[in-house]
Amino acid sequence: MRKGFLIIDFGSQFTQLIARRFRELGFYSEILSYKTSVEEIRNKNPYGIVLSGGPNSVYEESSPRRSVRELVEIAPVLGVCYGMQLLAYDLGGVVEKSSHREYGLMTVNWKSQWGLVVQGMDLHQQQCWMSHGDIVKEVPPGFKVAALSATGHIAAMESERVWAVQFHPEVSHTEHGIQILKSFAERVCQARADWNAPQMLEHLQKEVREKVGPQGQVLCALSGGVDSTVVATLLTQALGKERVHCVFVDNGLLRKNEYETVLKNYHHLGLDVHGVNAVDDFMKALKGVYDPEQKRKIIGRLFIEVFEKSLKTLKLPPIQFLAQGTLYPDVIESVSSIGGSVTIKSHHNVGGLPEKMNLQLVEPVRELFKDEVRKLGAQLGIPQHLLWRHPFPGPGLAIRIIGEVNRENLALLQEADDIYIQYLHEKKLYEKIWQAFCVLLPVNSVGVQGDARTYDKVLALRAVTSQDGMTADWYPFAFEDLRDISSRITNQVKGINRVVYDVTSKPPATIEWE
């Protein structure tokens, strides 16, 4: 049993960040629903337990609640925002609605040195990220107030086995937030930092061999992206090339020349790769389709059909397992701990295959975040230029064409996108940006090119910086870069006469447009 930290999710938008921060510090962590039984939590034998924030009020009947006394008996507990309010409410304190809500950066004034948390830091005032409308009015018996906000509300409280903060130490805006998490882990929980790439690799290879067995054959669905590349390489190195069969589908929705380039890269990695040309099938199915969710569903369905056909035509040995590059955020986002969550967009995968074809799923990186997958890939010997490719959506360029997907629009977008990405590489900007791409808009505008009037397409550029894709900010290009990119695209791509730049962060927008 891997020992680590359990984050009990009460619906906070930052729950994943808490897990990431502990892993960045070298401690394994996993997220559980607040409904998880105390027996399961006890059996995991955690170093410590973290109660996440959440949008509810603990005193409302419909709010997500559970007994925290039994959790404190299992391991030290850290409460964050709603987690602090739940601790106070359940242990005999008073929680009430505040007449003065606190959102954004707030000053916190420490009343004491808060045990060992600030050892080595002269911490009396701290800028912290707040997001709450309720307050702890009175701390429970046995607790003491450790800090107050600038408005006089309780910002931190402590007892022998419990720390609780009204702010969010996991977000980058909070000063010394990481040090607080680290001190809780090391000084209160006596945790040992042993979660790293070599340890991950050994653990995952062992799990793969145990699940697949000595004779199992695996089909690996490749996309050309980081996740599936790492999965295919991990499986091949763990099981052998003769037992891992990779299929890469050309759906016509890839970047310019990407199908040929990716196949070549896969062969260099020593993978057994089979290319499947299904461009006509996808173009026919997407004809006349404008709705982005409908595009995604059509593409997902077709992938399943293509894979079914490929198993027959490629003459592969009998397959028992299907491998996918599912990541931990996919696992967490697929099921809301609170229920009733809004689906922002459905994600393409080939998850329908196991049920239809009697295959078992192998998802070796489902416990990992993107940055951990990249570290794992480096351990596997995958070249850096493949590991640090920008994320590319499963439905491909179909969701970067606002409107109908046809060969003409695809050709325009592929050419413009190629010019854009090549410019970023040329100017050494590519690795400074989390994700960059073009969006072809369903808008024509008047232009003048070569003394002639044009009425051509408008192209939007998108470039964002991010650590994990959960939040993102637009990249501040120099004026000269935007001018040069626009000039190259409008001069070289016939059919586009106007280029605009998207300066919207996430939130309120998503990174992709559809």
Query: Active-site residues: which are they?
Result: 81, 168, 170
Query: HSE of 16 in the Cβ direction (CA atoms, 13 Å)?
Result: 18
Cβ neighbors of 267 (< 8 A, separation 6 or more) are 273
Here the tokens at position 407 are 């060969």
Residue 463 bridge partners (DSSP)? 436
| DSSP-assigned states of every residue in 420-471 | HHHHHHHTT-GGG-SEEEEEEEEEEEEEEETTEEEEEEEEEEEEEE-SSSSS
Round to whole Å and give the CA distance between 240 and 496: 48
Of residues 114, 110, 51, 46, the one with CA closest to residue 80:
51
Which three-class secondary structure state does DSSP give residue 9? strand
Q: Which residue has the tokens 């993978």?
A: 271
- Upper half-sphere CA count for residue 185 (Cβ side, 13 Å): 26
- Give me the half-sphere count of Cα atoms (radius 13 Å) on the Cβ side of residue 436: 24
Q: Which parts of 150-197 are beta strand (E)?
A: 154-158, 162-165
Q: Is the CB of residue 145 less than 8 Å from the CB of residue 138?
A: no
Distance separating alpha carbons of residues 466 and 221, to the nearest angstrom: 27
- Six-digit token string for 168: 């969010």
